[in-house]
Structure 1
């Protein structure tokens, strides 16, 4: 029976720890196998570089002092005569509601004609209208109010409470305030990403960073598109783990220990805590730093080895950062292979049935 088992390959979840080391470049394989230590952990602790460019961060907030094309204005004109040019049957005031500033920046005022509004403050426009009407009616009094308009709106889509188009008003001139106006984010805040698209430019930040770094709470501009979406990063877990699957990140920074916990941790009767491997295509700059070289070019295949039985093994696994696209593989313990052998010996199967089962 021992000879029969020796001639056959027992079923297993993947390569053994020894087979992975045998496939290293050090032994004419195609990947560098590296044991994780403090230096390796620091060199590979890279997270996605997110943020807004200086163009976004230095844009000043919109103010109600400057009128722009697309804005909507409200005008009220009082005349100092009983039967004025604009006054109706009751009172001597005339309200002109929702006066649209056209694409050229002009508005039309009865008896005042076409007047340039864009670029002026409400006070400056009030003076211009007053001067225009002065020749038509004695001592006119004008009030100009700047309302929200189509030229000062942003669109919000994705994981927000209420998707839609929102005007940029006094309380909602910044990104965080506008998100609050839309009902906040409805996905897990820790993995929520906020992207602002302005023309051909765009920037992305973590939602939680908006409240940690005031510089990221940028001022909005009319036409901005805001997208809130869930982090799409994922890793693959295979081998002797409680779950084998492609798993999405649940935190902004995911450690190897967190990744193991997400798939149910190690299996006490079959997992080898000394054989936890992370397969990764590493950038040349990081690979050179990890390996202490300077001649590598292009992406390199690296296999990082974690040993939880080492004195600081758990700390290493807690500090080692998992990257998007990583493959986390846990080898089976030698005991697991021995258990399979014993179960076949004492399982009541004939030698011929054993061979057929193993072949399948």
Structure 2
């Protein structure tokens, strides 16, 4: 059978079109039609929800941080309360020439660097072991005086505390100077202790402060700590203060300026801000009517959003926003992104046609070469 040059070209082009249609072209992900085909309405397992004012209000859930009443109700540690680990300085005067403790020719005895042991006690010669922790220097003075009165006439005692040696907290993370700091009168609150540690070295907008106390912990935004006096809690010995960046992230995929996992830069992040944070929509590829926010929605919110009180457990929801209308832009501005969200922007339909035409145009010369070879 003889095939002319024109017929050969048509045959080759037909084969190429079929090949392109069969194997598909490179792209960044599913198009809008394919996402809709996976919806619950199409026997899939994802709910497709167009974003409007009602949806933005129902889904606007920003993580609330703060301390429990147990933290906030704690009173300030007394500036002169003695704790285990404190170092005390005792001076004892005796009203006799040859006292129990004083050296010859003196009537005063200095007991320097007396450490309060783990059980909260100290040892004073002729007075024995005395409970010091939980007492004030004045209260301890009276106890020692009473103990020694039976041994020497009219003893006079002074007690000085080295402030905070036993009442300490640990400060870690993004501060000017990590370390173990004493609780002293100027540093009895969280904000004062952070200042003592050199201040917070993280952007205030995303800085979080965690306080661990025993088996409990609480967390607060740095900005709220300074704006809400109730969050400036009183510290307790053994507290651990951790300063760290907000750990929330979202993932950007599809026809955006970049495709990556992105940390939050603000406490609240809208869909518009999230898109801007990754360089905006790709001018040459993005479909502005196909901006999706993919999320495993909590049961309570899913029931309200979908008006389905029968739903149980978290639900896969694909929120869709169209940026081609003013209302859509406002909705994108008001729709809040959450930790773990995926922001996916579909490609415009013409992009696949453009890629197909590019492939076919690029192979036209190949078709001519084949037909010429057939004619020779």
Q: TM-score, normalised by structure 2?
A: 0.86
Q: Which deviates the most, 130-139 or 205-214?
A: 130-139
SS in 2 for 1:301: strand
User: Match for residue 141 of structure 1?
Assistant: 156
In 1: Cα distance, 2:364 partner to 2:342 partner: 37
The answer to whether the Cα contact below 8 Å between 2:291 and 2:321 also exists between their aligned partners in 1 is: yes
User: Match for residue 4 of structure 1?
Assistant: 17
User: Match for residue 91 of structure 2?
Assistant: 76
In 1: Cα distance, 2:78 partner to 2:85 partner: 15
Mapping for residues 80-91 of structure 1, pairs under 5 Å:
80-81=95-96, 84-88=99-103
Matching residue within 222, 228, 247 for 1:207? 222
The answer to whether the Cα contact below 8 Å between 2:251 and 2:261 also exists between their aligned partners in 1 is: yes
User: Match for residue 245 of structure 1?
Assistant: 260
Mapping for residues 1-360 of structure 1, pairs under 5 Å:
1=13, 4=17, 7-8=21-22, 9-81=24-96, 84-88=99-103, 92-347=107-362, 349-350=364-365
The answer to whether the Cα contact below 8 Å between 1:79 and 1:93 also exists between their aligned partners in 2 is: yes
C-alpha distance after superposition, 1:139-182 (max 9, x if no partner): 33322222235531111222222221111111111111111111
SS in 2 for 1:312: helix
In 2: Cα distance, 1:107 partner to 1:211 partner: 40
User: Match for residue 374 of structure 2?
Assistant: none
How many residues align structurally? 353
In 1: Cα distance, 2:205 partner to 2:347 partner: 33
In 2: Cα distance, 1:118 partner to 1:261 partner: 57
How far 1:18 moved relative to its partner? 1.8
How far 1:87 moved relative to its partner? 4.0
**Which has the higher Rg, Structure 1 or Structure 2?**
2
Q: TM-score, normalised by structure 1?
A: 0.89
How far 1:220 moved relative to its partner? 1.3
In 1: Cα distance, 2:248 partner to 2:98 partner: 71
Give me the CA root mean square deviation.
2.4
In 2: Cα distance, 1:29 partner to 1:285 partner: 21
User: Match for residue 7 of structure 2?
Assistant: none
In 2: Cα distance, 1:349 partner to 1:238 partner: 34
Unpaired segments ≥5 residues, structure 2: 1-12, 369-376
Q: Which deviates the most, 141-150 or 46-55?
A: 141-150
How far 1:340 moved relative to its partner? 2.2
The answer to whether the Cα contact below 8 Å between 1:151 and 1:223 also exists between their aligned partners in 2 is: no
How far 1:28 moved relative to its partner? 1.7
C-alpha distance after superposition, 1:8-40 (max 9, x if no partner): 433221111122122211222211000111111
In 2: Cα distance, 1:230 partner to 1:17 partner: 35
C-alpha distance after superposition, 1:120-143 (max 9, x if no partner): 322222122222333444433322
In 2: Cα distance, 1:249 partner to 1:320 partner: 15
How far 1:104 moved relative to its partner? 2.8
SS in 2 for 1:151: coil
The answer to whether the Cα contact below 8 Å between 2:171 and 2:242 also exists between their aligned partners in 1 is: yes
